Structures are given as C-alpha cells and as structure tokens.
Structure 1
Amino acid sequence: AIGILVANVPEGLLPTVTLSLAMATQRMAKRNALVRHLPAVETLGSTTVICSDKTGTLTQNRMTVQQVFYSGTVRSAEAHGFDDNAIPLLRTAEYCHNLKRGNRNGQATWLGDPMEIALLTFAKGIRDFGEGTMVSEIPFDSDRRRMSVVIEHEGQRWLYCKGAPEAVLPLCVGTELDGRHDVLDDATRQRISAAQEGMADRGLRVLALAHRQLRGDAPPSESELVFSGLVGFRDPPRPEVPEAMARCHSAGIKVIMVTGDHPHTALAIARDIGLVNTENPTIIPGEALRRMTPAQVQIALDSPEILFTRVTAEQKMLVVQALKNKGEIVAVTGDGVNDAPALKAAHIGIAMGISGTDVAKEAADMVLLDDNFASIVNAIEEGRAVFENIRKFLTYILTSNIPELIPYLAFVLFRIPLPLTIIQILAVDLGTDMLPALALGAERPDPDLMKMPPRPANERLLSWPLIARAYLWLGLLQAAVAMSAFFFVLHLGHWNYGDVLDKAAPLYLQATTACLAAIVMAQMINVFVCRHPRQPALSRFTPRNNLLLLGLGVELTLILLIVYTPVGNRLFGTLAFPSTVWPVILLLALGFGAFEELRKLILRRR
C-alpha cells in the first residue's frame, strides 16, 4: 500500500513547477518584462486581447515639433519665417510647463514630460523671452485634458494654457493678430479645426495653446482666453512594433489601441505600425463611448480593427470590463495613477517602467522595463512557452509513475519478488528526475509557438491526451523496459518462478538495481521524446538546451553512484549487476524511444 501510494505521488512536481515559473520570470526580465506575481507568467500565455496605450508604448515618446498653426496658416517648425504674430504662440510654448532643472550625465537638462521638453526647446530655439516666475498651476487631468500656469513676467501676470483643441478652443473668445485682439468667429474656428485635422492626418499629436493677461489680484480663471495657435508633434513609432504587431496577428491576439489622442492621429499611427490594414476601421471617441450601453460596447468590440480615442481612465476601465464579459483574457497597459483601476481589473496589468507612476506599478502584474510594446509580445511568447514546458515535464514525470507502480501490482498479483523498493522510487522522483525535468521547464519557446491561436481559458494543464500519453503509452512501455531488465537479471541468476528470494540476497539486490537502472535509462531517452509532442526528438527545429545536457550528466552520475558505490548500495538497497546487463538495458531504452518516435511519425502524417 505504501509503495503504490509513493509510486502514484509525483513528489518532485511541486518544486519543479515553482522553479520553472521562477526561471521563466528570469528569462522575461532579460527581455525587459519584469513579472511581479508568479502566476501571471502562466496567464500571459492565454492572452487573447491587448489594450495598449499609444504614446511611449507603440511610439518612442521622443517628441519633436513638426508644424505650427497661427495667423490662419500652417507652417513648418523650422527656425526661420516666424514673424511678430508668432509671439503669443512662442510665449505660451515657453512658459506653459512644469518642467524642472536637473542633471543627466553631468549636464544640465530639463526633466519632465517629453512633450513639454519638445515645446520648450522649440520656443527657445526661435526666441527666448527670458525667465518668468511661476505663481500657480492648474494641473492636467484626464477629464479636463488641459493644464494652465500663471506666470509673472516683467511685472505682469499671465495665464498660459495648453491642451487638447476640443478642451481649449471652447474657452477662447478671441485671437491676437498684428498686436490687436480679434473676435474668434465661426469661420476662424472652422479654419482652426481644419488645420488640426490636417496635422492629425499626418500622425501628429496636436495641442492648442491659449493665453490671457490677469488684471490686478483677480484669481486665475480658464475663461475668456485668447487663442495662440496649434502645435503638431511628431512621435515616431517604435521600429520593433510592426513586427510585434504581425506576430500578434499570426498568434490570434487582438490588439486594441486605447489612447487620449485625436482619432486622426491614432489612425495614422495605427496604419504605420500595421494595427489597421482596412479602409474603414471602427473608431470610437471617448464621448461616444460614454453614451453607449454595455451591450453596444460588446457589439462594437466584435470589430476586427477598433481604436478608442480621447478616452478617460474611467472609460478605459469600461473597455476592460466589456472585454472580460465577452470571455476574453485581457492584458492592459498603463502608466498613470488613474490607470490603476484598469490595471487591477485586467487579467494582466502591465505598467510602464520608465514613464509609469509608482501607483501604476503597484497595481500591475508586470512592469515593462523599456516601455516597449514588443516586450509585451515577447512576454506572451514566454508565457505560452511556460505552459507548454510544464506540460512537457508533466509528461516526463508522470511517465515514471507507471514503471514504479507496475512492480507492486505484479508483486501482489503474480507472487514474484518485489522488483522495486520504496526508497528506489524516491531516488527517481526526488533524485534522478529533478534536473532533467527542470531542463524541460527551461526550454526556449518553440519557433511555431506564436503561429498558433491562444489556448482556451478553461483548458486544463493536466488534459486527458497528456494523461493517456504518459500513463497508457509511455508509462506502459517504460514499465515493460523495467520489468524486462528485472527478469533478465533473475534469469542470469537461474531463478525459477515460485522461488522465494531473501531481501538481502545478492541476486535480488542486483535484480532490483537493474529495474531501477532501466527506469533511469528509459527516462534519459524520455526527456528527449518529451521535448515536443509531434516533432522528432532530434529535430533541427528544436532549440538547443544546454541545461538538458547537464541534467542528463547528473542523472547518469547519480545512477552510477547508486549502483557502484558502497554508500549508494547501503542507502538504496542496491548491488552492482553484471556488466553484460547494461547493453540489454540500453537496447530496451532505445526501443522505448523508437516506439514513441513511430507514434509521432504516424501523428505527423495524419
């Protein structure tokens, strides 16, 4: 009873699974994906949808001013051709920020948002209006979509405002041209909107700038502003993203852009990176999303290509919840404090390591060390590999349970000497099998892994095909190998059926030792056939695994120590058998591998 119990419990499984997950997190960290929660490694592999930010994740977050609009004209941001009518625009660009002075690599520099750095650099490169003192600030938030500062300059107080054109233009009542103020009429507003859409169509991120002079001690108010102009920023896509996007498509993973940018800007970038390939993708602005019912959102999410633009953190959360209600496994990126609820709600929350806030990182399951979308795809590949690797070493470990169990059943049913002792079972489960199983857990991703669709969320790790292969095929073959070696040694010692052997008899010790050695040798072959469920054991498609060779070396060393050293004999109840038995064991083990390779060949041809 104890023998059957020990044979059926894979004692080495728990440490192997844990170490396999830990090794996967180390590989992910080398690919710039830092996993904070160990179970997230496995969940990554079943991801079906990625909701990704645009700026800094799909793009490089290296802003440069490309175009400006003032005095009714769109102009290049070159340092020439700016007249006095550009002064309001340049003054707002220079002062409307909350950057701080700092040092980087021993040089003085500005620290803060890359967009504000680009805006300040552009303004100072054309005309520097001197230092101003910040009196107060109305900070940016995702609902207002703008920020303002009050600056004291040359004895006067000015309010400078920048933000999304939709958020700033309704607050403007006039423009400044040739030093005089004009009313901002409908015709001018239409020209501004046309200029904005033209910039956005080129993939530029557009900001509207406005200002007003504050009289006396009047409190700052974002009202009755004077329109200064528009600024268009170029933020180029990351060069790795188009390939990562193609890998997502081939892997059956849907990517949804969720951004606060203008729809035209988002669409232009989406086309550049291969996220959108059709003429009419679904684009849902945040205002339209706010008015939609949960059912309407779920229907909209059925679109093959969909972008959410001008969304708030709350609306981002709604998208995540709708996807979860549809049964999707959702990964979401975020960097701000407001993104924390969406990161928590997602199956996999992914925070930005460079631009992300501490709150976002605490809420996330994974942190991107380089803020790069391609690192998410690499992490998903590793997550898929972990699931497959666990299945590989599950097959490997469970296979040896049958040759450990059969000797006890044969002992009871057929009244033969016990072919394997309990301590010898533990020698396999906690000794010789451990390192090769870990090596299978450290296998690099299969080249075709990202060409398959995500596995179903309800798919069990221990599936019936795996159990059938391990127990009813490989296990029975390996049991035949072990029992053949056992009876071969008894035959050499002229044992006859019905003879009773003392547990200390040399022939009995040699026979059990041969049975143990046969299991170990068959497991050495088994570790190769378990590397892939269909490909040949020595396929050129199977990546090299140096840890596997190390594991096999340790496994062989351990069995030799158990067979040939006095300490091994005393601890495990073994005794060296005749050297003529080794070729028989080796041929039996190779035959075991040949039968499995034949099964794979039949499976491939089907």
Structure 2
Amino acid sequence: FDSVRKRMTTLIRQPDGRLAAFLQGAPEVVAERCDRRANEEGDGPMTAETRETILASAREMAQGAMRVLAVAEKNDLGEGAGIPEDGFTFLGLVGMEDPPRPEVPGAVAVCREAGVRVIMVTGDSAETARAVADRVGLGDGGAIRVFTPGDLQGAGSLRRAVETPGAVFARMTPAHKLAIVSALKRTGEIVAVTGDGVNDAPALKKADIGVAMGMAGTEVAKEASDVVLLDDNFASIVAGIEEGRAVYANIKKFLSYILTSNVPEVVPYLAFAIFSIPLPLTVIQILAVDLGTDMLPALALGREKPEPDVMRRPPRPRTERLLSWPLLSRAYLLLGPVEAAAGLAGYFWVLAAGGWKWGTPLAPSDPLYMQATTMCLTAIVVTQVANGLTSRSETTPVRRIGFLGNRLLLWGMACEVALQAAIVYHPALNAVFGTHPVPLAGWLFLVPFAVFLLVLNEARKEIAFRGRAD
C-alpha cells in the first residue's frame, strides 16, 4: 500500500492456475479504476450513477468514524501480464472501526486547559477524520475544520491552515505531515509528533519531540523519535507533560530555597567589612548550613507532588530561564533579607545581653562571641524551616495545597532542627563548629522572624493567586 497512490494491487494464482489481481484502497481511487461491479446476477457495468452510490455509502460509513476500504478484482490475466491499473470489477466496501480509547477525550480536554494544542493529521478520509475529531473533542464545542491536500495548494494556505482553531488534516501523505510540522515550527510553536509507521519518520525527526508508539511502532519510527511510548496511549503523553512541568517547578523550588539562605550568609561578612564588627558567622558555620541543615529539606522539595493547577497554566515561554528574575528577586530581595535581619538581630541580641559595647574586640574563643555566632546560625536554620514550608509552591498559597502534604519535607525539617540542636548543644560539635549553647529564650526570639517570612511570602502568593483567578 502506498499513501500517495492510496491503493495496493496483489497478483494471486488461483487453484485452476489462472492469474487474478485484487485491488484494495481508498473508495474514490478504486471506484475510478473499475468498469464493472459485482451484483446478484454476477456483474454489471459501472455507471456514473453506480459509482456515486458507492461513494455515498463510503461517506456514510466514514461519518460513523470507520476507516473504509474498497475492494475490486480482475480475473483471467495472461501469463507475464503486468500489474493492471484499470478494468477491475468492484466487489464491495469494508468498514473498520478503531475507536479512540475512553481516556482520550479527557486527555484532550486537559491539554486544552494546559495551553497545549492537539492537531490530528491522518491519511483517513475527511469524513472519518471529522467523526473521530468530534468524538475526542478536538473542536471544544467549536467548528472542526477539515483540510485535505487540495486545500493546501495556494501560497500561504498551509500557514493559515495550521493557525485555524479546530484544524484537522485528512488524506495527508508523509510529505504533507512534514510540511505541517515545519509550518508549525515557523510560527514559533514547540511541536511534538506521534507516529508509528515508516512514513511518519520524517515528521518525527523534524519535530522538537518525536514520540513513537512502542507496541505498534516500527523500528524506523522508534529510531527517528526522541521518546518511545510503551503503552501506545495518548493519555500517557499528557501525564508526561504534567510530570515534566512538576519536575521543572520542583527544580525552581529547590533553587529558591537554597539561594534564599545565601543572603544571611553574605550579609554578616558585609557588616563585618563595613562596620568593623566581630564576624557574625564563621566559614565552618556556613558549611554547616550548606552541607548540613539545608540538604534534606532541599532534596525533599524536589519530590513535591504536582500542584493542583499545574495543568491549568499556560506553557512557559521558550525564552524563560531556570534562574528567572522572579525567582532571584524573591530569594535575594524578599525572603533573604528577612533571614539576614533575623541573623543579625539574634547576633546583636546575644551581644547586648552579654554587655558588649560597640567597637570592643572579641576573641574567637570568647564564649560570648561563640554564643552570638551560634545565634546567627540558628536564625538561618529557624527561618529556613519557614522558607521550606512556603517554598512548596511558587505561586499557590500553601493553605490551598496543605502544609502536611509532603512528608519527606516534614522529616527533612525535623532532621534539620535536630542537627542544629546537636550543633548547638553537643560538646563535640561545639568544638568543631565553634558554637556555644543558647537558651530557650534565644530560639523563641527567632520565631517571629520565621512567622513573618512565612506570612510575607504567602501574602505575595495569595495576591498572585487571586489575580490569576480573576
């Protein structure tokens, strides 16, 4: 079978030794090559009226979402005869139904909400394509516009076709499929193509993402693709989009959480350099945060489940960077300064309670100095607990997704606090990190800063969330 010729002819030697040719293909193509038709009496002439009746029956079957093949024969071929192109006797129509899986309409609806446009490109007839498109909801209540090769001849017609809402392409050849993918890419779209046959390989290769069918797909199609769909299920592609969006969002949550603690680590050094005060945070204590207390909560954020509205958001722009301005500004200009303020406030709170006067030098081994730096370190950890809770979503308030939904994060924060308590109170770790026990009042002093950070970021998200809802 050839998708351009839309027919296939087979030569068969019958039991009596005679050669016969059998033709199958698109009804309009097969009917044109028949000059007779089979009937109850044997056969009769193929008139224009009979041909139109056959094609009307084929259209009626196609409108029921059937793939329709016409079958014809030619008997008594001479020895050495080539493959005949005409003179056949029309035998009948065969309708085959391959209904979409039950989950496909729902998956198409999810794609529409996610800003992903689904376009059907098929070699089936226009009637079959329209019926299938209607079943899976490609029109979304609007008109489904079916394009055939004849509609794509004029200059600019292909571009207009791919930009038409509800566009469906029928009777397409491999060359047409490749041209459609190229036209979509020229309009700036990111294009994913699914296919299973050898003829789909050029379009699969041209697409940004080629998706081959793992069960029904040919090896050529799989080699030309970037992804192989093991269950041949369109809904799995949609699930993959959701998972991909969730992974991308979780990477940004991880980065936001980690970058926020950079500010309270840098600000003490700036204060030390500018105001000539004793260094509020030592290098080993910074390492305790970066390689110790922050690690488990950050990793737990990477396991966050997809947010409820992740598939109701439009696709991110092609030019969007992972380290975007909203992420950096939130970490460095909104949340980070709160943590830095908590660290310096705790540091000076201890020094003031110990009677320290401005300009008085403190030795690194001075218990007052060690307790003050411990307070600064503890401030970072306490505020990072609040940061971990609010970082579970960039734009959705945590109250809408639940504070207890990520058990790994809760365990991570528990380990974070336990590790910090060990650094503060265990004598061996005191010696390693240059820390000194702080009273319970010190921990309580830092709680308002953590609450303020949580409320501040949640208020920002609440405003953004209501803006999207409106």
- State the one-letter code of the partner of 2:28: E
Distance 1:159 1:575, change over 3 A: farther
In the TM superposition, residue 423 of structure 1 has moved relative to its aligned partner by 2.9
CA displacement, residues 439-465 of structure 1 (integer Å, 9 cap, x when unaligned)? 222222222222232222223333322
Tell me the SS of whatever aligns to 1:419. coil
Asked whether 1:257 is paired with 2:140, we answer no
- State the one-letter code of the partner of 1:271: D
Distance 1:244 1:484, change over 3 A: same
User: What's the counterpart of residue 347 of structure 1?
Assistant: 208
2 CA distance for matches of 1:222 and 1:216? Answer: 11
CA displacement, residues 30-51 of structure 1 (integer Å, 9 cap, x when unaligned)? xxxxxxxxxxxxxxxxxxxxxx
Distance 1:222 1:433, change over 3 A: farther
- After TM superposition, list the pairs within 5 Å mapping 1:154-193 onto structure 2: 154-156=15-17, 157-178=19-40, 180-193=42-55
Distance 1:337 1:576, change over 3 A: farther
Q: Answer with 262-271 or 417-426: which moved more.
A: 417-426
Structure 1 segments unaligned to the other structure (5+ residues):
1-139
Distance 1:513 1:337, change over 3 A: farther
User: What's the counterpart of residue 272 of structure 2?
Assistant: 411
1 CA distance for matches of 2:293 and 2:142? Answer: 59
In the TM superposition, residue 352 of structure 1 has moved relative to its aligned partner by 1.3
User: What's the counterpart of residue 61 of structure 2?
Assistant: 199
Structure 2 segments unaligned to the other structure (5+ residues):
none
Q: Is the 8 A contact 2:20 2:74 kept in 1?
A: yes
1 CA distance for matches of 2:403 and 2:197? Answer: 41
CA displacement, residues 284-340 of structure 1 (integer Å, 9 cap, x when unaligned)? 113443x243x2211222211111001112211110110111111212111122222
User: What's the counterpart of residue 521 of structure 1?
Assistant: 382
In the TM superposition, residue 220 of structure 1 has moved relative to its aligned partner by 5.2
Distance 1:560 1:241, change over 3 A: same
CA displacement, residues 473-525 of structure 1 (integer Å, 9 cap, x when unaligned)? 10100101111222222233332221212223333222222212211121111
Q: Answer with 167-176 or 400-409: which moved more.
A: 167-176
Q: 2:284 aligns with which of 418, 423, 428?
A: 423
CA displacement, residues 537-557 of structure 1 (integer Å, 9 cap, x when unaligned)? 333567822222232233223
Query: Identity of aligned pairs, percent?
Result: 50
Q: Is the 8 A contact 1:204 1:235 kept in 2?
A: yes
2 CA distance for matches of 1:147 and 1:560? Answer: 78
1 CA distance for matches of 2:186 and 2:298? Answer: 38
Distance 1:406 1:546, change over 3 A: same
2 CA distance for matches of 1:567 and 1:334? Answer: 63
Alignment: residue pair count: 465
Q: Answer with 371-380 or 467-476: which moved more.
A: 371-380
In the TM superposition, residue 234 of structure 1 has moved relative to its aligned partner by 1.9
User: What's the counterpart of residue 117 of structure 1?
Assistant: none
User: What's the counterpart of residue 221 of structure 1?
Assistant: 83
Tell me the SS of whatever aligns to 2:400. coil
Distance 1:361 1:494, change over 3 A: farther
- After TM superposition, list the pairs within 5 Å mapping 1:129-144 onto structure 2: 140-144=1-5
In the TM superposition, residue 467 of structure 1 has moved relative to its aligned partner by 2.0
Distance 1:423 1:312, change over 3 A: farther
Q: Is the 8 A contact 2:390 2:454 kept in 1?
A: yes
Tell me the SS of whatever aligns to 2:237. helix
Tell me the SS of whatever aligns to 1:227. strand
Q: 1:211 aligns with which of 51, 73, 96?
A: 73
2 CA distance for matches of 1:579 and 1:435? Answer: 25
Q: Is the 8 A contact 1:150 1:220 kept in 2?
A: no
- After TM superposition, list the pairs within 5 Å mapping 1:186-585 onto structure 2: 186-213=48-75, 215=77, 217-219=79-81, 221-223=83-85, 224-277=87-140, 280-289=143-152, 291-293=153-155, 295-540=156-401, 544-566=405-427, 568-585=429-446
Distance 1:200 1:489, change over 3 A: same
- State the one-letter code of the partner of 2:74: R
In the TM superposition, residue 405 of structure 1 has moved relative to its aligned partner by 0.8
Tell me the SS of whatever aligns to 1:254. coil
Distance 1:217 1:492, change over 3 A: farther
User: What's the counterpart of residue 104 of structure 1?
Assistant: none
- State the one-letter code of the partner of 2:399: L
CA displacement, residues 393-436 of structure 1 (integer Å, 9 cap, x when unaligned)? 22212111111110110010111111122232233223322332
2 CA distance for matches of 1:564 and 1:146? Answer: 83
1 CA distance for matches of 2:466 and 2:60? Answer: 56
Q: Answer with 143-152 or 406-415: which moved more.
A: 143-152
In the TM superposition, residue 200 of structure 1 has moved relative to its aligned partner by 0.9
Distance 1:575 1:171, change over 3 A: farther
Distance 1:222 1:383, change over 3 A: farther
In the TM superposition, residue 153 of structure 1 has moved relative to its aligned partner by 4.2
Q: Is the 8 A contact 2:370 2:436 kept in 1?
A: yes
- State the one-letter code of the partner of 2:283: I
Report the aligned-residue RMSD: 2.5
> Normalised by the size of structure 2, how large is the TM-score?
0.91
In the TM superposition, residue 388 of structure 1 has moved relative to its aligned partner by 2.5
Distance 1:541 1:504, change over 3 A: closer
2 CA distance for matches of 1:582 and 1:542? Answer: 22
2 CA distance for matches of 1:322 and 1:404? Answer: 51
Q: Is the 8 A contact 1:162 1:168 kept in 2?
A: yes
Distance 1:155 1:199, change over 3 A: same
Q: Is the 8 A contact 1:245 1:275 kept in 2?
A: yes
1 CA distance for matches of 2:429 and 2:435? Answer: 7
Q: Which has the higher contact order (CA 8 A, sep 6+)?
A: 1
